[in-house]
Structure 1
Amino acid sequence: TPGSVVRTQWDGKEIWLRRSFELEETDLKAPHALIHHDEDAEVYLNGQRVGAWQNYTTHYVMEPLNQNFLRAVRKGKNVLAVHCRQTIGGQYIDVGIVDVVRGQAMPAVAPPEKARTELRPPAVPLVVHDPYFSVWSFDDALYEGWTRHWTGAVHGMAGLIRVDGKPMRFMGRPLDVPPQAKGAAAAKSAPAAKGDSAAKDTPPSKEQPIPDVRQLSCQVLPTRTIYRFQAGPVELSITFLTPALPDEVDVLARPVSYVIFEVQSQDGQPHQVELYFDATGELAVNTPDQPVVWQRQEAAGDPPLQLLRIGTKEQPILQKRGDDLRIDWGYLYLAVPKVQDVATVIGPADRLRKCFTAGQPLPTEDDPRQPRAVQDDWPVLACAFHLGQVGQKRETRWLMLAYDDQYSIQYLEQNLRPWWRRDGLDAPGLLRRAAEQLPKLAQRCEAFDRALMADLEKVGGPGYAPFCALAYRQALGAHKLVQGPDGQLWAFSKECFSNGCIGTVDVIYPAAPIFLLLNNQLHKAALRPVLHYAQSGRWKFPFAPHDLGTYPKANGQVYGGGEKSEENQMPVEESANMLILVAGAAKLDGHAEFAKPYWPLLDQWADYLRQKGLDPENQLCTDDFAGHLAHNVNLSAKAIVALACYAELCRMAGRDTEARSYRQLAEQFVQQWIRMADDGDHYRLAFDRPGTWSQKYNLVWDKIFALRLFPPEVVQKEIAFYKTKLNLFGLPLDNRSLYTKTDWHVWTATLADQQEDFEYLMRPVYEFVHFTLPRVPMTDWYWTHNAGRVGFQARPVIGGVFIRALADPQVWSQWARKKPSP
């Protein structure tokens, strides 16, 4: 084997190696295997497979280890095991564990020659509707760990199948031997671990473990996640369908997902099949020590629906606010058709799961012991499907999961209803309607996914469509659609794991491309709360606000100086953001009517940028994690683009004098910007800092809105320079650090005039998505040298990755022409 240093000879077809080592700390940032293998190799830590590689290498390579490493590693003694198989030719294996830490002096790395088109999801969206009703799988296989809320807290759903009497597990870790710990606290540094001490210290059990099915595939599409499993002689397919159709707002706003099961014999013989599903009370509490109550209901229909619901006894509606929080008011619903082959019950998790695996019928009476804490015998909403003999004809069953929060958002002390409840609809009525529409919605979602994926592939090239599919439900699911005080559709975003703010302007800004592409009504819904607040009299400053409060309470800005002081505000940033965003709404409408009620605000913000925008003072911008920066070149570019957007708004409104004046001002600023920012083969980070550089992602709106402000050679020079600064997993945000932002990276790549340059710059991003750790809903702030997350996860800003579609006028026009429902 080339590059090998042989110390121990082996001549068999395979070899197992094992050694132990001690660790004082387990706070690892980016664990990798330093490995040289010939041929197939597997690495295990404390019994968990943490990496597997096929074929062979000719030298030592650094390979990221999977999520199981972070779960298996422990303080003190650890056991590392290695398995290598050889089929032909030389053979060699050597493995070490390395934690790749931050470094500054990194040479540029050319991206892969081809884009990665099959992406391992950082986390898999299952039931994702809003910041509270948001359930994911953080694992490669659906049965490798408990499903979780985006914060990392367990929101357990369990799935079991019996084939010819043999039980197998397909979701979660029900009846694990030893039991997997469920009570691990959610953490911003890593998801709760399935291998933490509560599980490790459990004594050996005499119970026989339940085998897992074998996962064949996992496909994430915009509105669907589709799993395929081999369950002995049958194949089981599970589709998590969230009908997030942007042109049907009433459907999009429904907090209802479908779980669709399809079973088919694979050996030509009939087999007896039963399915079991449950959802724990964890989905209805902030912490599992909160007491819950439950009941069953029925909804009319043909057939009728059996409804099981669970929620907290206290029902503290909109009493808490914060970032790392789950909902603890309202009710979780499980709904199934009331037919002979479906059984439902509310009861203790282990008892019901053991009944099913033992082939016994589920109890006919719900558990009467309530209220009790979720962690007290883990009450679940459960159902079982008895499919009978399943042959080559595919058998289908389905259920619905829904959440009725009753009131969703508090705005200036007024509690707002979810959009779907605005006409008095209640949960049983909602579920009845959803059940009736399932066949139509399934077809609509399949057609929507197919059309959107095709257009994303067309504009972005290989890898772009699956990348955007991973972002789709995350972006939409970080918003809540409500009926505003004015009766109109309002959308509130949450700054997930950055500070928990609600309606943050510099979150709405990067998230906007997904709405601008798919439905301008949603885009304007996100702007209305900010504009309403800014003109309410509460906001006293001559620039736009940063936020509206802390989710879910939009009772006034909390960031920086709040409503009291100009200290630590983002005046240029937010004022420019709002002008650009309002201009986007007008461009799609073809007129400026949306801006009409807000002209005094827009005039004031434009005047502020006229005075302060060209050479910004020492202040924060959206990349506030980098700290204050004076003379920020990229922020100046945003201000200039915003002034041109304001000029265009004035032109559309017939305000010709202002339109000419501000257009001329923007053009003058461009010439000054070029002169002040020029640094030879690129443009600077700050006007007064030669030898620096940064991504100029804000220039993208000049291209998308066809403003024709900056000469083409400005962008061409920047793109050529960026290509020399790539790391293995992306382009650093600027010269100060190796981290980048996922959304801004895509905006920067979209600046490229040549498709090959866009694809060249994007290939490292797809590598990041595939290898990033820890496994959480996609982060937008990560290290470009090791794909490790710096911070943030599940944020709405990931909607910004759709911006490449806006840069294709034909594709954007095609989607913009679709007639949305009210």
Structure 2
Amino acid sequence: MKKLLIMMALSVSMLINAQTTNFFEPVKEIALRVPSVPIVVSDPYFSIWSPYDKLMEGSTEHWTSAKKPLLGALRVDGKVYRFLGKDKINLVPIAPMTNVERWEAAYTNSTPANGWQEFQFDDTSWKKGKAAFGSRDMQRVHTEWKGNDTDIYIRRGFDINNLDLEEDFYLIYSHDDVFELYLNGEKLVSTDLVWRDNVYLKLTDAAKKKLRDGKNVIAAHCHNTTGGSYVDFGLFREKKDAVKFSDEAIQKSVDVLATSTYYTFTCGPVELDLVFTAPQLIDDLDLLSTPINYISYRVRALDQKGHDVQLYMETTPELSINENNQPTIARTLSKNGISYVEAGTIDQPICDRKGDLICADWGYAYLASVNGAGKSIGLGDYYRMKESFVKNGSLNSTVTKWTTRKEEDNPAMAYVHNLGTVSKDSKEGFMMIGYDDIYSIEYMYEKRMGYWKHDGKITIFDAFENLRDNYQPIMERCRALDAMIYDDAEKAGGKKYAEICSVAYRQVMSAHKLFTDKEGNLMWFSKENNSNGCVNTVDLTYPSAPLFLIYNPDLQKAMMTSIFEYSASGRWNKPFPAHDLGTYPIANGQVYGGDMPIEEGGNMVILAAAISKIEGNADYVKKYWDILTTWTNYLVEYGQDPENQLCTDDFAGHWAHNANLSIKAIMGVAGYSEMARLLGMDDVADKYAVIAKNMAVKWEKMANDGDHYRLAFDRENTWSQKYNMVWDKMWKLNLFPNNVIEKEIKYYLTKQNLYGLPLDSRKEYTKSDWIMWTAAMAPDQNTFEKFIDPLYKYINETKTRVPISDWHHTDSGEYVGFKARSVIGGYWMQVMKDKIL
């Protein structure tokens, strides 16, 4: 493996040396349509996506669906073409939401009489309550409604004076979970099991006719299945004569590669190339952890004539908040040849807010312009900035400071580059956007900075200057990584597989945060996005491992060291590993309500063995050998036929006697033997190798169900993906007799659906990371592609527009839950197999 890593480094160097400076054409063309496109990404908080086929189709957002608006437009000969995002709608509240008013409504938790949603319904017997309605862990809740499998019915009256149906009206609503909404008896919204925040619904002409002068009623029903519950809604009209970038550019192409997203647009007589680059180089920890992205652009005439061109880019302080009504302060400043607009909350509650579907509300967002001819950056009124650009191609007079206490008063943080006359010769430039979170993680009761800061020696301004000064070599290295990720995957599994890995890379990297503990140990912590918000969850570390094992095992260690140290410190004294270290960003110890003894024990021992085998030595595990021995002995004692305990797939319901969980234990015992061999402990290695072999032979007999192997030892006519068995093939141990792998793979092919192989016989849904592990056990390329093609089809066609969900229905292609998670690092299992075998 050492030779492999050296060869990889040389191949990257060769690519860099051979690379031209044309940064606007992707190194590979990607046909795969991504359900949500990475735009500006760095970590679980600084994470902006476009969930649309066309970049100008809607506003950009955080992976949680919270608004994180970016806006871009090109002015050509006085006409403005919007190519990025959508203008904020200038709304006047008729019935405001709770960020403005604690509105009151009638409500009931009992099933009401028929016609409850109609305008004339008598709700005088219902209770009265202040919005929002929901569980206390949700924002601005003033009337508590909680409990699994419960309902709330709400009727809100409001008045409209001087109704003008020529105006545009919007309903805005937030809900968790199943939701329906009526306007004067007309159903306008109906969802399934999903949660949404601040959805804007423009009323159609037909819906507007339901409005009336005087009193109106909005009625809503929400059903909470499990977990948090929430309802808030309001009605607004659009302010007349607001300046907007109404005309859209024509999007010609989009290509998503490992570090960069490439767009090309036609804006009248000129063509615009736009590249969003996150320099997340897996072998460069400083760049990987630096929370700054490039936005590069190039404009050229299509008709060989000269055209007057200006480019406009914008964001708002919403990048730095969690709740829409949080007060912010923004300012302009300039340092060492770079001009900035900086914005953050006034309160700065550093690392105070923890949980799952949240955004950071501490630290500062930055829009940065490299000083030069025609470039300007400014802070000012949201609509006047656009009005000035439309009229003059320049920014409105800027202010040095802007304080916001209401969402509707958010300013524009804007950048303009006057490119002047553009003809047959193209003109180009770049800007930067970044986020300084001050402190990133609280680890064992001490706040820690991001790795790139080197304990405060590097400031965010130093980082911006470094990326400015090294733009060309960094972009070249990013292109080299894009090519390597694609080429390695294509060689291992074909073109479709290469495209899947290319579009998945930034999602995996951006679900982590890199820092060091006070002893200098490297820490690479995941956030359990859209699952429960845990930090450094071991059964996320396990499926994500292939990407890091291939390209930088130090990052794999950085996910595991803290788990070892947690046990070594005495804070965790059970004979198996912890499940997690807390709720992101607080990592002071496990918070998960149930242990996963075999799951996490197997995960940690297997991964320790994988690192040792890749590095050709067991130096990393020496320090923790006693802990590994304790965990392995637990696997020996309890892993053959697991009792009714939690495992990573328990969203499907946990069963005792889980055959795949038993495989994990067996492979853990085998991995311990392999590490002992590397440490020169041959007697220990021989002992545990025999134990693992005997366990595997017994497993085959216990799980055998004819032409396949069972989901649980005591359940006939069941089946499941035995993805944990991939290590037997990877390590060439041949523990399992009677061609178990070949028999299973053949059987799985009979169970595939349109969008993939189900996880097991209980449901039609699947986990795509495990499909990739299972596919890596295929005997040949043709069989491998039979597993990959449906997964490619799922990513390409799913109607669920979120960063790739690893948990989806194989019949409909819609997601069940989970998005933006690190586990799709498991997609690289086939690449790892190709490099090892």
Q: What TM-score do the two structures reach when normalised by structure 2?
A: 0.79
Q: Does the CA contact (< 8 Å) of 2:700 and 2:737 recur in 1?
A: no
Secondary structure of the residue aligned to 2:255 is strand
* CA drift at 1:741: 0.2
Q: Does the CA contact (< 8 Å) of 2:666 and 2:692 recur in 1?
A: yes
Secondary structure of the residue aligned to 1:443 is helix
Question: Cα deviation per residue 1:580-606 (whole Å; 9 max; x = unaligned)?
Answer: 111122122211111111112101000
Alignment of 1:705-720 (within 5 A): 705-711=731-737, 713-720=739-746
Aligned to 2:81: 168
Which one of the candidate residues 449, 453, 467 is aligned to 2:500?
467
Aligned to 1:136: 49
Q: Structure 1: how far apart are the matches of 2:369 and 2:63? A: 26
Secondary structure of the residue aligned to 1:463 is helix
Residue 302 of structure 2 corresponds to residue 266 of structure 1: yes
Secondary structure of the residue aligned to 1:456 is helix
Structure 2 vs 1, CA of residues 327 and 464 (structure 1 numbering), >3 Å: closer, same or farther? Answer: same
Which one of the candidate residues 464, 471, 486 is aligned to 1:453?
486
RMSD: 2.0
* CA drift at 1:179: 8.3
Q: Does the CA contact (< 8 Å) of 1:161 and 1:169 recur in 2?
A: yes
Aligned to 1:733: 759
Which one of the candidate residues 785, 794, 798 is aligned to 1:772?
798
Structure 2 vs 1, CA of residues 494 and 668 (structure 1 numbering), >3 Å: closer, same or farther? Answer: same
* CA drift at 1:808: 0.6
Aligned to 1:277: 313
Q: Does the CA contact (< 8 Å) of 1:543 and 1:574 recur in 2?
A: yes
Alignment of 1:525-536 (within 5 A): 525-536=558-569
Secondary structure of the residue aligned to 1:294 is strand
The one-letter amino acid of 1:362's match is L
Q: Structure 2: how far apart are the matches of 1:592 and 1:368? A: 56
* CA drift at 1:343: 1.3
Q: Structure 2: how far apart are the matches of 1:369 and 1:293? A: 6
Q: Does the CA contact (< 8 Å) of 1:289 and 1:374 recur in 2?
A: yes
Query: Kindly, what percent of the aligned residue pairs are identical?
Result: 42
Structure 2 vs 1, CA of residues 179 and 555 (structure 1 numbering), >3 Å: closer, same or farther? Answer: farther
Q: Does the CA contact (< 8 Å) of 1:281 and 1:374 recur in 2?
A: no
The one-letter amino acid of 2:288's match is L
Residue 541 of structure 2 corresponds to residue 508 of structure 1: yes
Aligned to 1:686: 712
Aligned to 1:600: 626
Which one of the candidate residues 376, 383, 396 is aligned to 2:408?
376
Question: Which ranges of structure 2 fall in alignment gaps of 5 or more residues?
Answer: 1-28, 91-166, 178-193, 204-232
Which one of the candidate residues 703, 707, 732 is aligned to 1:677?
703
Which one of the candidate residues 486, 495, 512 is aligned to 1:479?
512
Q: Does the CA contact (< 8 Å) of 1:459 and 1:805 recur in 2?
A: yes
Residue 757 of structure 2 corresponds to residue 724 of structure 1: no
Aligned to 1:699: 725
The one-letter amino acid of 1:589's match is E
Alignment of 1:90-239 (within 5 A): 118-174=31-87, 185=174, 189=194, 192=197, 193-195=199-201, 202=237, 205-206=240-241, 210-239=246-275
The one-letter amino acid of 2:237's match is T
Q: Does the CA contact (< 8 Å) of 2:402 and 2:411 recur in 1?
A: no
Q: Structure 2: how far apart are the matches of 1:255 and 1:363? A: 29
Secondary structure of the residue aligned to 2:633 is helix
Q: Structure 2: how far apart are the matches of 1:466 and 1:459? A: 12
Q: Structure 2: how far apart are the matches of 1:196 and 1:499? A: 33
Moved more, 202-211 or 579-588: 202-211
Which one of the candidate residues 355, 364, 387 is aligned to 1:322?
355
Alignment of 1:386-535 (within 5 A): 386-423=418-455, 424-535=457-568
* CA drift at 1:704: 1.9
Structure 2 vs 1, CA of residues 352 and 117 (structure 1 numbering), >3 Å: closer, same or farther? Answer: closer
Question: Cα deviation per residue 1:443-470 (whole Å; 9 max; x = unaligned)?
Answer: 1111221122122111111311111112
Q: Structure 2: how far apart are the matches of 1:549 and 1:382? A: 38
Q: Structure 1: how far apart are the matches of 2:168 and 2:47? A: 24
Q: Does the CA contact (< 8 Å) of 1:154 and 1:182 recur in 2?
A: no
Residue 615 of structure 2 corresponds to residue 615 of structure 1: no
Q: Structure 1: how far apart are the matches of 2:387 and 2:755? A: 46
Q: Does the CA contact (< 8 Å) of 2:47 and 2:63 recur in 1?
A: yes
* CA drift at 1:398: 0.8
Structure 2 vs 1, CA of residues 481 and 218 (structure 1 numbering), >3 Å: closer, same or farther? Answer: same
Residue 565 of structure 2 corresponds to residue 559 of structure 1: no
Structure 2 vs 1, CA of residues 740 and 806 (structure 1 numbering), >3 Å: closer, same or farther? Answer: same
* CA drift at 1:182: 11
* CA drift at 1:429: 0.7
Q: Structure 2: how far apart are the matches of 1:179 and 1:597? A: 67
Secondary structure of the residue aligned to 2:724 is helix
* CA drift at 1:727: 0.6
* CA drift at 1:125: 0.3
Q: Does the CA contact (< 8 Å) of 2:78 and 2:393 recur in 1?
A: no
Residue 571 of structure 2 corresponds to residue 545 of structure 1: no
The one-letter amino acid of 1:458's match is K
The alignment of Structure 1 onto Structure 2 pairs a total of residues equal to 685
Question: Cα deviation per residue 1:631-672 (whole Å; 9 max; x = unaligned)?
Answer: 100000111011100111111112222111111000001100
Q: Structure 1: how far apart are the matches of 2:239 and 2:342? A: 35
Residue 679 of structure 2 corresponds to residue 653 of structure 1: yes
Q: Structure 2: how far apart are the matches of 1:368 and 1:453? A: 45
Q: Does the CA contact (< 8 Å) of 1:323 and 1:500 recur in 2?
A: yes
The one-letter amino acid of 1:224's match is S
The one-letter amino acid of 2:448's match is L
* CA drift at 1:770: 1.1
Q: Structure 2: how far apart are the matches of 1:781 and 1:621? A: 16
Structure 2 vs 1, CA of residues 604 and 493 (structure 1 numbering), >3 Å: closer, same or farther? Answer: same
Question: Cα deviation per residue 1:179-235 (whole Å; 9 max; x = unaligned)?
Answer: 897976586825554436789853584568621001011100000000110000000
Aligned to 2:109: none
Q: Does the CA contact (< 8 Å) of 1:175 and 1:353 recur in 2?
A: no
